Amino acid sequence: MAKTSTRRSSLRIILTAATAIVLLAGQWLPALINANTPLQSIESGTRDFLMRVRGKQEPSSAIVILAIDDTSLAWVGEQWPWPRSLLAEIVSKLNEAGARAVGLDIFLIEESDNPAGDEALAQAMAEARNAVAVMRIFRDPRQTGAVTLERPYPALRESLDGMGITSLTRDKDAITRSLQAYDAFVNETYFNWSFETARLVLGVDAPSGPSPTGLAFNDRRVPLQRGNLLVNYDGPAGTYPTYSVVELLEGDALEQDPNAFRDKIVLIGATTITLQDVYPTPFSAQALTPGVEIVANAMDMLIAGDYLRETRPWVGLVAVILAALLAMFINRSRRPSLTIALLLASMAAYAVICYAVFVNQRLYLPMVAPQAMLFLGVILPTVEQAVSEEVEKRRVRNLFTRFISPEMVDQLIATQDINSLNKRANLSILFSDIRGFTTLSEKLAPEEVVAVLNPYLEVMTRVIYKHGGTVDKYEGDAIVAFFGEPVAYEDHALRAVRAAVDMRKALVELKARWEKEGYPRPGLEMGVGINTGEVFVGMLGSAQRINYTVIGDTANLAARIQDLTKTYVWPILVSESTYQAIKEEFHAEFADSAIVKGKTAAVNLYKIISWKKTGDQVHGWK
């Protein structure tokens, strides 16, 4: 029992350790190979959930989006891209409305066919208090190493206060959680235009010291994730104040609010799905968010300095190890209900901690791996224990079905502690033997002996099972059985005597069947001796062979009584102790007070005559 407990404990530790190793590998692998794993994808989805639970935040009132939407495209009536002269008119109106900064989220790489329009746009941007436009470093996927720097056309570039890249990063699940913070071309580093705009508005230096894990900006360290800036979204699409270009050109926006653009950072960009600059975000994978609004979220975050951060990899290691230790502690509980309660409470507590830290500190704690470790660390050993118990039950069932009926085995497993079978108990022991079988077997061929003995043992065993008995062993033609264990019955003596009477009836029926089949056995008889008393009952044997048996003087006396059935020429004899337990149900006749082998005092013996209720007789041998 101690060895089994130690073995199970060791197996639980191995399962917990193996789970921890797998989860830690899933956490560390992305950092080692610069790629996402399924665990990392689940972690990202969990963080999206935290952001949605946190809900929509109040965006900065200093940032406004001027939308190139479907209404604007229809109103202008020009094919996209719009003429530079129209863009110049838009920027000029914003300048007149007092915009603090104007950002163009439109690629203006080549000069157009209208130089006057190009010049007008450059002039309008030059007149802006702060003017920013986008550029890109284009890498041709068809040609390895083919990299091109694509900046605004020269006249516009000279009128700008800043320009930057505008690449957004879509993860494996297509969700846009970050934007590319910087890129390099011929030893020159270019930063995202959200940094450029924030730099101009704050009046600080450009970012410096970029690395995959962070860069310096506004006297602070901005955390990066493999060179990408995690965006602290304030909400889904439409969170930031948005005006259609039509409302500006027609004057509706300023008519409703003369200060709609005054001292505001105005970002001009496409919001229509037609121009394919919309993306799924943590707030919604269906209601797509325009790229220009994603940049607005990032710009707001940079100006406020409320960056999203991730913990160092070692924090995830510590969290998984602590979760494993907590799981081992929970598994020490012997009550399943308490185990489940502790597991759910621990997982809920950690989820609350992760949420609180995210909301208050904008810090992502590793959540999936520790929670998975806690859950699997409790569930796997529990499943293992259930499987082990089922295997043990099957082993016990297979063992005991050789002695007792399958129904009784099920009852034993349901009601007994199978690890406490070895005990001293008051039982009734039944010995039976075929009279003269040795002489008979000498006259029969071996196969004929088997043809007689096997049906006999099968029938008698079935009768013993019927009355709740346990077959200890077969000794040739002899059967040793006991009543009262492993399923305890207070009326075990009655059960033993009833079984003996029914065994006599079964033998009569068996002989009739043999006679009908042409193999008469008229002289085949049997004797049964029964004794009641205390014996040791339990599992005895070696690692190679084990038996569930009884030993003790009570069992020996039952065997001696069975031998005396030949002396008194009566098929069923019982001891005094058995007689006292069954005398209310059976008529019994005192046979003798005999000295048996191994006893110094005489033993009272009784012949079982008949049932009192039915009057059925137990006949002697012919």
The token duo for 284 is: 């919604």
Better-predicted residue by pLDDT, 543 or 495: 495
**What's the CA gap between 372 and 379, in Å, rounded?**
10
**Beta bridge partners of residue 574, listed in sequence order:** 530, 606
Coil, strand or helix at 232: coil
DSSP state of 192: B
Q: Look up tokens 């269906």; give the residue.
A: 286
* Residue 375: CA count within 13 A, CB half-sphere: 12
Predicted confidence band of residue 403 (pLDDT cuts 50, 70, 90): low
Task: Identify the pLDDT of residue 3.
Answer: 44
Task: Identify the pLDDT of residue 420.
Answer: 62
Q: CA dist 246 to 84, 92, 289, 375, 457, Å? A: 16, 14, 20, 55, 101
Provide mean pLDDT across the span 24-36. 59
Task: Identify the pLDDT of residue 417.
Answer: 54
**273 residue type, one letter:** I
**Beta bridge partners of residue 50, listed in sequence order:** none
Q: Average pLDDT, whole number, for the chain?
A: 87
Using CB atoms within 10 A of its CB, is residue 178 exposed (0-12), middle (13-18) or buried (19+)? buried
Residue 250 has pLDDT above 60, yes or no: yes
Q: CA dist 403 to 168, 428, 543, Å? A: 74, 15, 19
**Beta bridge partners of residue 287, listed in sequence order:** none
Dihedral pair phi/psi, residue 532, rounded to 5° = -120, 135
**Cβ contact 477:531 at 8 Å:** no
Residue range 228-248, pLDDT digits in tens: 999 999 999 999 999 999 999
Residue range 584-607, pLDDT digits in tens: 999 999 999 988 887 778 899 999
Residue 385 has pLDDT above 90, yes or no: no
**What's the CA gap between 405 and 278, in Å, rounded?**
72
CATH for 404-611, options being 3.30.70.1230, 3.20.20.330, 3.40.50.300, 2.40.50.140:
3.30.70.1230
Residue 573 has pLDDT above 80, yes or no: yes
Residue range 482-495, pLDDT digits in tens: 999 888 889 999 99
Predicted confidence band of residue 28 (pLDDT cuts 50, 70, 90): low
Residue 131 has pLDDT above 90, yes or no: yes
Predicted confidence band of residue 613 (pLDDT cuts 50, 70, 90): confident
Best CA proximity match to 306, nearest among 208, 204, 198: 198
Task: Identify the pLDDT of residue 372.
Answer: 85
Enumerate the domain spans of the chain. 2-35+311-391, 58-308, 404-611
Provide mean pLDDT across the span 432-460. 86
**What's the CA gap between 41 and 368, in Å, rounded?**
10
Task: Identify the pLDDT of residue 598.
Answer: 73
Task: Identify the pLDDT of residue 13.
Answer: 67
Residue 532 has pLDDT above 80, yes or no: yes
CB-based contacts of 594, cutoff 8 Å, min separation 6: 564, 567, 602, 603, 605
Provide mean pLDDT across the span 202-207. 95
Better-predicted residue by pLDDT, 422 or 473: 473
**What's the CA gap between 169 and 148, in Å, rounded?**
20
Best CA proximity match to 190, nearest among 269, 265, 135: 135
CB-based contacts of 169, cutoff 8 Å, min separation 6: 176, 177, 178, 179, 180, 228
**Cβ contact 327:321 at 8 Å:** no
Q: What is the largest CA-CA distance in the chain?
A: 137
**Cβ contact 322:349 at 8 Å:** no
Predicted confidence band of residue 448 (pLDDT cuts 50, 70, 90): confident
Predicted confidence band of residue 2 (pLDDT cuts 50, 70, 90): very low
Provide mean pLDDT across the span 116-134. 96
How many residues are recorded in the chain? 622
Using CB atoms within 10 A of its CB, is residue 57 exposed (0-12), middle (13-18) or buried (19+)? middle
Residue range 251-265, pLDDT digits in tens: 999 999 999 999 999
Predicted confidence band of residue 4 (pLDDT cuts 50, 70, 90): very low
**Cβ contact 579:428 at 8 Å:** no
CB atoms within 10 A of CB 26: 20
**What's the CA gap between 265 and 102, in Å, rounded?**
6
| Angle 343-344-347 from CA coordinates, rounded to 5° | 85
Predicted confidence band of residue 105 (pLDDT cuts 50, 70, 90): very high
